[in-house]
A and B are shown apart, each in its own frame.
Chain A
Amino acid sequence: MKNSYETISAKIKNIKEEGSNSKLFTLERPRGFEFGVGQFVIVSLPGFGEAPISICSDPNDKKSFQLGVRKAGKVSSEIHNLKKGDRVGIRGPYGHGFPIELAEKRNVLLVAGGLGLEPLRPAILEIIANRKKYQKVQIFYGAKTESDLLFSNEYDNWLKNDINFNLCLDNPSGKFNLKCPFIEGLVTVLFEKIPLAPDPIAFLCGPPVMYKFVLEKLNKAGFKDEDIFVSLERRMNCGIGVCQHCAIGGKYTCKHGPVFSWADLKEYKGGYNII
C-alpha cells in the first residue's frame, strides 16, 4: 500500500527574492512529477511541519518547478532559511487547478490580487507557450504597493505576447521606477477603466475580500457562473480529503479544489458565505 503521507525529495536549484517578504524557489522536478495549472504541493520540512504551497511555474517545463513562498507561518518562515542545494520533501501535486482546457479558443480574463498571481502564473506561461490556442487574454492584477509586485520583470514579455496586462496599486509609494503603467486603487477599478473582451472565461485568485467585489463586477458584466473559476485557500493537513480542515460544504479544498467553478461553489455553501 502506498503511503500518501510519504514525501519525495526535491533539490533547490535556485532562490530569488520576489516581492516583499517572499521568495521564489526553483526546484528540481522529480521523475514522474506532473502538475496542472493551479495545483499545489505540500512541502515538508521535518522539525517544522508541512504547508500547502501552490506551484507557480510553467507546467511545460519538464526540468524544474517553482514555488513562491511568503513568510507567514512557522513552516514558510523556515523555508526562507533554506539555501541553494538544500532539499525539501514534497508530496502531491494535489487538487484540481484551473481548467485551462476550457479556455482554449476563448477570450480569457485572469484576475489576481496580491499573492494570488502565483497560482495564475502557470496559466499565463501556458498561454504564452501555446498562444494560438487562446483568443484575447487579459490580466487584471492588483497589489498593495510597488515592492509587493510579483514577477515584475516578466510583464514586458507578457505584453509582447499579446496579453493585455493591467496593473493597479492600492497604495503606490512612487519610490520605484516602475516601467509598467498602473492605475491607483483596488483591482475593481480596472473593471471601470478597461473594456472587457466579450464572453470570456475568468480565472480568479486573491484574498476573500477581493472575490466579494470582483464577483459583483463579473456578475454585472454578464459573466455566467460556470465561466468563473476561483482558487481558495484553507488550512490543510492531509491533502487527501480526510482530515476535514479544508472542507467547504460537501467538498474539500485539497481534493475537489483549490479551484472551484463559481457555479459549484454557490451550491456548496449551505447557509454560509464561503468567501
Chain B
Amino acid sequence: MTENQFQNFIKFLQKDYNIYVPVKEASEVVIKRIESSVDVEVIHELPLHGWKKFLMPSCHAMFNFDKEKLDYISPVVEAIHELPLPQILLGVSTLDLRAMALYNQAFEKDPWYQDIKKKTIIIGQSLAPKDKYSFWIEKFEEDQLEHLPFDIFIVVKPDNKDKYKIFTGSEDGQRLLDKYGDKNYEHADYVGPNREEGFDKRMNDVREAMKNKHNQKIWDDLGRRCIECGKCTIACPTCFCFDIFDTPTKEKNQGTRERSSTSCFYQEFSEVAGANPQASKNKFLKTTAERIFFWYEHHFVRMPDDYGVVGCVACGRCSKVCPVNIDIFKEIRKILGQLEVK
C-alpha cells in the first residue's frame, strides 16, 4: 500500500472500530484513540505504558454474586468506555506482539481474556525502537512473522513508493482486507511463538544462569537499591500477577467478585492469613532481595517453563520507569557473569 492507500484503509476501519495507536506527546509516547480526521503515523518508539490494559483491564468484575451463586460478567475493555465498538490496536511493535503471545498462552483458558480478544483486532508493525536497549532487540525479518500473533501486520519500508507491505495472520485480518477490497496481501500462518531451534538463545542462557548459578551478591545489591515501588511490574508488558477479591454491595449477600492486577513487590503479595499477629511470620517473601529475585525468576524461569516463551521481550520499560535506575540489561549481564558484580 502507498501512504494514501494506507490512510484510506485506516479510515475505512474506523467506521466499525475504535482504533488505538501510539502517539508522540512531548517527551512521552502514549496510546490514544485516533480521530477520523487525522492521519496515522507508524512510529519507532514504544508507548511507555504498553498495550496490556487493552487486553486485560487492571481491574474488572468476574462475577456478580447472589448468595453462593456466581454469574459471569463480560469484561469491559478500554474501548467500550469511549464508544461501544470493538477495538483495533494499531502499530503494535514486534516486541509487544511477543508479550501478547505470552498473554495468549497464560490466559488461554481465561474466559474474560478470551472475550476481550474476540473484540480486538491487532495490527502489528515492523519498526523497532532505537534506543540504548536496542542491542537486545532482533532486527526485523519477514520470517519472524509466523511466530508473532496478529490479525494484520504492516512491514514499513520508508523508502518505497509502496511504503506498507501487508500481511494477514488470521481470518479476521483477511476478512477486513477483503471487505476493504485490497487483495494485495500475503498470509503468514501463526505456528507458535518459537522458532524450531527453541527460544532466544540469550534469554535461555539467562534462564539457565538463574536456575543454576545463583549469585547472592547480585540480589543483595538489588535488594539494597530497589525501593519496592512496583513501577516496573506496572510498566512491563509481560507482568500479569493478579488478586481476586469480593466487593459486596449494600444488599445482603450480593456484590461482585473482582480481579485486579497486583505487584510482587507489594507487602501483601505473599501474606497468608494466620492467627499469628506478627505479620512477618506469615509472609513468604520477606526481604527486598527476595522480592526482586522472585520478579526475575518469574520472567526468566517460570514464564519460559510454563509457556515455552521468554518472559522478557527486551522493551526496556522496567528500566525507564525505575526511580533508582535499575537497568535490567546490566543486571542480566551480571547474572550471565559478563559484568562484574561489585
Contact = CB atoms under 8 A, between A and B. Distances in A.
Interface of A: 1-7, 9, 21, 44-51, 70-76, 87-89, 233-235, 237-238, 241-245, 247, 249-250, 270-272
Interface in B225-284: 240-246, 248, 253-255, 257, 264, 269-275, 284
B211 A250 contact: yes
A63 to B, nearest CB: 21
Contacts of A72: 273-275
Nearest to A238: B244
Interface string B188-218: 0000000000000000000000110011100
A237 B62 CA distance: 13
B245 to A, nearest CB: 6
A4 B253 CA distance: 22
13 contacts: A1-B114, A5-B62, A46-B248, A46-B257, A49-B246, A49-B257, A73-B274, A87-B67, A235-B272, A247-B294, A250-B297, A250-B302, A272-B293
A271 B294 contact: no
A271 B274 contact: no
Interface residues of B, number: 51
The 8 residue pairs across chains A and B that have the minimum distance between CB atoms: A73-B273, A46-B65, A271-B214, A72-B273, A47-B248, A244-B241, A89-B68, A237-B244
Contacts of A76: 273
Interface in B280-324: 284, 290, 293-294, 297-298, 301-302, 305-306
B219 interface: yes
A49 B245 contact: yes
B106 interface: yes
Contacts of A247: 294, 297-298, 302
A75 B294 CA distance: 27
A246 B68 CA distance: 26
Given A88-B68, A244-B298, A271-B216, A235 B111 contact: no
Nearest to A51: B273
Contacts of B241: 243-245
Contacts of B114: 1
Contacts of A270: 210-211, 214, 293, 297
B253 A235 contact: no
Nearest to B253: A47
B113 to A, nearest CB: 10
A245 B270 contact: yes
Of B68, B114, B245, which is in contact with the most chain A CB atoms at under 10 Å from its CB?
B68
Interface in B27-45: none
Given A234-B270, A234-B272, A242-B242, 11 more contacts: A4-B109, A5-B70, A44-B70, A47-B253, A233-B272, A235-B269, A237-B244, A238-B244, A245-B241, A250-B305, A270-B211
B12 interface: no
B72 interface: yes
Given A5-B62, A270-B210, A270-B293, A50 B273 contact: no
A1 B241 CA distance: 22
B260 to A, nearest CB: 10
Nearest to B63: A5
